[in-house]
Amino acid sequence: MTFDELMKSWDWKPIRNCPGRYVLHSAGNNLRPQQILGCEMEASEYRVEAAKDAVLVVELDDGGLISYHRADGSFLHTLNTTEGFRRKLTQLGIDLH
């Protein structure tokens, strides 16, 4: 799965003042990251001080999916270009490598 494939497959809207980052609109808040991706790619889960919810991260060749798993069981999914992905992971204090 690539950034472009995901962008075409779902209803993503730009996140204001966050270049290279998009939030999933529509019924995506009830879907697990693997359902958004259309495959069983492994999502790494992080608990960080910079986010009140669990952060699930799936790295793509050209960016990544960052999903926030809320206490009520719903999700907030963000699709990120390579630059947006790196920037947000740094902001969250997550080092993938």
Q: Is residue 63 included in any domain, yes or no?
A: yes
pLDDT of amino acid 97 = 77
Domains identified in the chain, total number: 1
Q: Is residue 97 included in any domain, yes or no?
A: no
Q: In residues, how long is the chain?
A: 97
Q: Is residue 58 included in any domain, yes or no?
A: yes
Confidence band for 1, pLDDT divided at 50, 70 and 90 = confident
The count of other CB atoms within 10 Å of the CB of residue 74 is: 13
Q: Is residue 70 included in any domain, yes or no?
A: yes
CA distance linking residue 85 with residue 59, whole number of Å: 9
Domain that holds residue 55: 3-92
Residues of the chain with pLDDT > 70: what percent?
A: 98
pLDDT tens digits, 28-49: 788 999 999 998 888 999 999 9
Q: Is residue 32 included in any domain, yes or no?
A: yes
Q: Is residue 49 included in any domain, yes or no?
A: yes
Global confidence as pTM: 0.94
